Each structure stands twice: as C-alpha cells, then as structure tokens.
Amino acid sequence: MTNTPEKTMNTDSFQGIDPATGQPLPGFFQEATADEVAQACEKAAIAFLEYRKKSGAEKADFLEKIADEIEAIGDELLQRAQAESGLPLPRLTGERGRTTGQLRLFAEYLREGSWVNARIDTALPDRQPLPRPDLRQMLRPLGPVGVFGASNFPLAFSVAGGDTASALAAGCPIVVKGHPAHPGTSQLVGDAILRAVTACGMPDGTFAMVQGRTTAVGMAIVEHPAIKAVGFTGSLRGGRALFDAAARRPEPIPVYAEMGSTNPVFFLPQILKERGSALAQNYVSSVTLGAGQFCTNPGVAVLQQSPEADTFMEEAATAVTASKPATMLTQGIQRAFAEGIGKLTTAEGVQTLGQATAADSFANGTPILLKTTAEALLANQALAEEVFGPGSVLVEAKGREQLLAVARSLEGHLTATVWGTNEELPDYADLLEILEQKVGRLLINGFPTGVEVSHAMQHGGPYPATSDSRSTSVGTNAILRFARPVCYQNFPDALLPDELKVANPLNIQRLVDGKWTS
Ligand code: NAP
C-alpha cells in the first residue's frame, strides 16, 4: 500500500511510468491485497460512527488543513505529477490551485451550513381531524465512500479531488483507489490528507488509499459491504463496470460515475459569416488543448452547408495541420486514441480534413480533424462517441432541419454549445430546447473546456455522460450525492441536531412551515 523506494520490484509492485519516455520512475507501489482493501473499508465504517457527528466548522477546519498540507508539499508534488502525466507545469500549478480552492470552497459552504436543506413543519396539535406531529428533516451523510480518480486530472479529479472533498464535507469517510497512471502523485496527496486527519483529530480510518493496477482492487472497494456510495471519474467502460457491480451487490449502492462526453458544438450560419476564421482557430485550440484530454473536449461540431462553412473547415484544417503532437497521459490512452481515430477514418462517409505531423516518440497524440455528413452520422451514431484525445469530427448538415435531426439523435453529454449572433439565436430556440434535454451545461458562444468550481456549476449530464444526471461532480452541489434526508418526528429539542433545534443556533436558512427563514 505504501511507497517503499528501497523495495525491490516483485509481481505485486509497480512503478509510475514517464509517458514522455516510457521509462519507469523512482519508487515502487504495492498492489493492495484483498485483506488490505477490506481493512480500509472496515476502518472507514468505524470512523464513520464518529466522523458523521463532526460539526460543519470541524469539517471545514479539516478540509482547509488538507489544502494547507497539499500546498506544503511544494514543488515536489508538481514535479512528480508532471513526470507521471506529461502535463506541463503551468497547467499542473493551476490544477493544484483548483484542488485546494475546491477544498476551501467546501469549507466555506460548510461554515455557512444551509446545505443540509433543513425543513421544519411545526406541530399542529389541534388540527382536525388529526393533529400534525412536529417534523424536522435534514440531510445526513451516507457512510463510507469509495473514490476513483481519472488519469487526466492527477490532482483535481484524483485523491483529493472533487469527489473526496464533497464526500468528506458531507461527513463520509473515504477509501480512494489511486489511479495507476500517477501512483507517486497519489501517494504524496494521500499522505498529506493523513497528516490533516491527525492534525485535526479526525478518527483513524477517515481516509485511506489503496493502490493497484488491476481492476480487482477497485472492484473489491465497490463490493465491500461497508461502502455506501461511489464517486468515479473516468471512462465509460470503467464507470459502467463499477455501476453494474454496485447494482449486483446484495445491498445495491449509488455510483456517481462521471464518464466520457463529446460535447457537441453547433455553429450557426450568421456567426460563421462574421467570425468564421477566428472561430476555426479557436475551435482547433480547444480540441488540441492539453492533447485533447479533457472530458469537456469538443469532439463534434455541426455546421450547415454554406460557403462560410467550407471556409471554416479549410481554416480549421490548416490550423490542425500546423498544430503539434503532444505527450498523452499514458501509452494505453495514446493507443486507444489511435485505434479510435483509425475506426473513424475507415467509417463510411468520413474523410480526413487535416492532421498534424506525427512525432516519433513514446506516447504522442497527433491532432486530427475529420469531416462527415449529417446523413452518415444519423446512420452511425458511433461517429459521435468520445475518442479521448486531440481529435474532432466536423459534421455538415444540409440545412436547419438536418442540424436539428443531428441534435435530436445525440446521446447524453456533459455540455453542448451553440455559437450564433444575437440576431440568429432566437431563431434557434428549438435547437436549445433539444440540447437542454441532452446535457447538464449549455453554453452560448464559448468553449466547453474550462469548468468553474462554484455554486452554480453543473458537471454531469444524461447517460452515458454520467450514471445519474441529477448529480454534479464539480461545484458545491456535489455534496448532495453523499447525503440522504432523515426526518425526526416529535423529537425533544435537546436530542435534535443543531441544524434543526428550535432556536436555530447555527443561524442557517430553513424552510419553516413552508417559508424560508434564518
Ligand atoms: P479509467 O481508465 O476508466 O480509470 C479510472 C479509474 O477507474 C482507475 O483507477 C481505474 O483503475 C479504474 N477502473 C477502470 N475500469 C475499471 C473496472 N472495470 N473495474 C475496476 N476499476 C476500474 O479512466 P481514465 O482513462 O483514467 O480517464 C479518462 C476518461 O475519463 C475519459 O473518458 C474522460 O472523458 C473521462 N473523464 C471524465 C470526467 C468527468 O467529469 N465526466 C473528468 C475527467 C475525465 P485501473 O486502471 O487499475 O483499472
């Protein structure tokens, strides 16, 4: 389970790999045994009995301490994350800020306290024909949560990422499955969380991390009876496997799986006339950003046939041809990208518009733009599926009706974007209405990459973008995934949680007899 640099490699150990060179990085990591996973889950169940009772202020101090401890690791963390992911240092510096900022945002949210959604119906003893009892409801934590991070955000969607922050905020202990693409980064962050557990006097077992390269480790977490919910970020295949495993348990549990997405972008005719050239450049920048390894990467663009659409495609083709290959996160992801693009290029009705010059090095992803028709896409939905990496398919529609037909045919995605002038957008209200049923975030005149961590953010969408479209994995609403409502009927005031006491000692917003008050 722990990093033991002095240890010699054996079949149960593995090393981080530098995706730029394919060379192993220092340090060996132990594949967790079934007993170790069980022990972590059982300790989490015991820790829950105490941790669930921590006040919002105590949990807020704890989250802030985790953020401080992560910052205190300093450059070592960024350097290790860079070596394991191939992501550039400025990007990782920003991601560390996002990770600590997320923890501090949840701390602020806990101190404010109203997230528990307190609802009070006061007793009506004289009501006829029956009296009404005193009813008080609030959200309470679910229990230990299993967390799986993705490879493409080694900090912000990993060991101390949004799932961990929101589950700890809700009052749930965590058992994290470290991502095998960045075991050293995971270890540094996991140790920082453990230091915060000790410093804040949180119960032993509030946080544990197990590492491993086999799916058995993750499956053992999901199948353990002590685990009461799962937060997952990663591929559709992985998320679906864990979701199905959770459903097969004697006691099924919720799996909040945030998975892949193609994030369709619709370019309307007038805006292409006015700003087509700049948009083509910006589109390619968005497709190739971070080697296209974002869940919000725009994988499909839809345009109506016109001279302006032709110009857009030509300019986009030139831009992608001039772009540079970049190191991908792992060789496995690079291979999956190459295979996915290979399938697309040989599919009926698809042609290559432009492609960067491949570099002859270890895990490079070569940016590519493909072109197809609305008819081809409508006949073969695989053309709109995520191919994780710097590639995108431009879809040409023969007019408005075909553009709407493509929108109707889409599966669930995290985002959809419409680019249009103020004059033409109202004429496409029907397009927006269709897209609203397909995604969790709708953008006008923007690019979907870049997800704000805030109160109003929604990062989730209908299946297959996520396993539960009612949830978000980014922003403060993420806490709601790990809590459930409990109603206390006719409780003496002294036995109620502070959030529900008559005097409202925490001064939070509450719905009292149908009116919001504080
Ligand atoms: P991944 O391969 O699915 O891995 C995610 C984690 O799940 C790893 O710890 C992996 O461990 C584990 N896992 C995968 N399949 C499993 C199985 N069958 N049983 C048990 N555990 C399993 O994902 P990734 O390639 O790192 O991430 C890239 C993907 O994540 C892209 O599709 C991207 O769009 C998506 N993503 C989505 C969001 C979002 O918020 N929606 C954010 C970022 C990324 P092992 O490798 O040991 O199996």
Q: What is the pLDDT of residues 303-356, one digit of tens each?
A: 999 999 999 999 999 999 999 999 999 999 999 999 999 999 999 999 999 999
Cβ(150) – ligand 1 distance below 6 Å = yes
pLDDT at 10: 40
DSSP 224: -
For residue 170, give the 3-state DSSP assignment: helix
Cβ(258) – ligand 1 distance below 6 Å = yes
Cβ(69) – ligand 1 distance below 6 Å = no
69 is catalytic: no
Nearest ligand 1 atom to alpha carbon 332: 25
**CA distance readout (Å), 321 to 282, 341, 349:** 14, 16, 21
| pTM, 2 dp | 0.95
pLDDT per position as a tens digit, 40-54:
999 999 999 999 999
DSSP 325: -
Place of tokens 């302006």: 308
The 3-state secondary structure of 227-263, one letter per residue: CCEEEEECCHHHHHHHHHHHHHCCCCCCEEEECCCCC
**Can you list the residues of the chain whose pLDDT is less than 50?**
1-10
DSSP 454: S
pLDDT at 358: 87
Q: How far is the CA of 239 from the centre of ligand 1 (A)?
A: 7
Residue whose CB lies within 8 A of the most ligand 1 atoms, among 158, 164, 233, 387, for a mutation test: 233
- Contact criterion met (CB below 8 Å) for 390 and 369: no
- Residue of 69, 295, 386, 396 with catalytic role: 295
Ligand 1, atom 10: closest residue by C-alpha: 179
pLDDT at 419: 98
Q: How far is the CA of 257 from the centre of ligand 1 (A)?
A: 9
258 is catalytic: yes
pLDDT at 363: 75
Cβ(182) – ligand 1 distance below 6 Å = no
Cβ(98) – ligand 1 distance below 6 Å = no
**Separation between Cα atoms, residue 375 and residue 406, nearest integer Å:** 9
Residue whose CB lies within 8 A of the most ligand 1 atoms, among 179, 232, 453, for a mutation test: 179
Nearest ligand 1 atom to alpha carbon 465: 41
Q: What is the residue type of 272?
A: L
Nearest ligand 1 atom to alpha carbon 295: 34
Q: How far is the CA of 273 from the centre of ligand 1 (A)?
A: 40
Beta strands in 48-144, from DSSP E residues, in sequence order: 118-121, 135-141
Beta strands in 390-509, from DSSP E residues, in sequence order: 391-397, 413-419, 439-444, 483-489
Q: What is the residue type of 244?
A: D
What does the buried/exposed string (b/e) look like for 233-261 if buried means 16 or more CB atoms within 10 Å of the residue's CB? bbbbebbbbbbebbeeeeeebbbbbbbbb
The string of DSSP codes covering 107-130 is HHHHHH-GGG-EEEE--BTT-SSS
